[in-house]
């Protein structure tokens, strides 16, 4: 995997990917580019996403063309904080794994305000729903950027 850290500052890729961020997964189709916003898990050198077969067309798109791009940003305008990671790689549709799904969902559910606890069995398949799968993205190249601008934060005046 090729990593471009030319303006990465002190960003550690493993630590960045441990954050519960939203990932934009870009793929192509015969109708043009498509984008999906998904929760993810970084594990075993790959990004893992939960998909419901037939809910959207992402699975069929990557089966036709496995090339994808994934964009992740951690942004706090009040602090002038902006870190970005862009990943290009190959995607594949993988079998469901309850344990992996549980690890992925716990990253996000435990941070939702107003919820006393995570679901009793997060990630467990529910009968009667569409088949669940994983999208696995193996990075071929990674670009890490620190665009933090805290020294130049513009204050709004009234």
pLDDT in tens, 46-82: 999 999 877 778 988 999 999 999 999 999 988 889 9
Whole-number pLDDT of residue 150: 67
Higher-pLDDT residue of 91, 151 = 91
- Exposure string of 46-57, with b = 16+ CB inside 10 Å and e = fewer, is bbbbbbeeeeee
- pLDDT class for 106, splitting at 50, 70, 90? confident
Higher-pLDDT residue of 116, 109 = 109
Check: pTM over 0.85? Answer yes or no.
Answer: no
Whole-number pLDDT of residue 148: 87
Which percentage of the chain shows pLDDT scores above 90? Answer: 51
Residue from 64, 52, 61 nearest 26 by CA: 61
Mean pLDDT of 94-104: 90
Higher-pLDDT residue of 53, 86 = 86
Element (H, E) at 29: strand 23-29
CA–CA separation, 94 and 43 (whole Å): 14
Whole-number pLDDT of residue 118: 46
- pLDDT class for 44, splitting at 50, 70, 90? very high
List the CATH code of the domain at 2-113+130-150: 2.30.110.10
């Amino acid at each position: 995997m090729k990593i471009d850290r030319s303006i990465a500052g002190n960003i550690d890729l493993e630590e960045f990917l441990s954050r519960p961020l939203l990932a934009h997964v870009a793929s192509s189709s015969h109708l043009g580019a498509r984008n999906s916003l998904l929760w993810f898990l970084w594990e075993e050198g790959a990004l893992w996403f939960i998909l419901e077969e037939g809910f959207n067309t992402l699975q069929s798109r990557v089966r036709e063309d496995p090339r994808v791009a994934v964009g992740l940003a951690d942004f706090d305008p009040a602090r002038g904080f902006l870190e970005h990671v862009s990943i290009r790689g190959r995607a594949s549709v993988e079998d469901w794994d309850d344990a992996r799904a549980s690890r992925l969902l716990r990253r996000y559910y435990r941070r939702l305000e107003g919820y006393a606890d995570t679901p009793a069995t997060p990630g467990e398949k529910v009968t009667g729903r569409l088949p669940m799968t994983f999208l696995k993205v193996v990075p071929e190249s990674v670009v890490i950027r620190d665009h933090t601008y805290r020294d130049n934060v513009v204050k709004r005046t009234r």
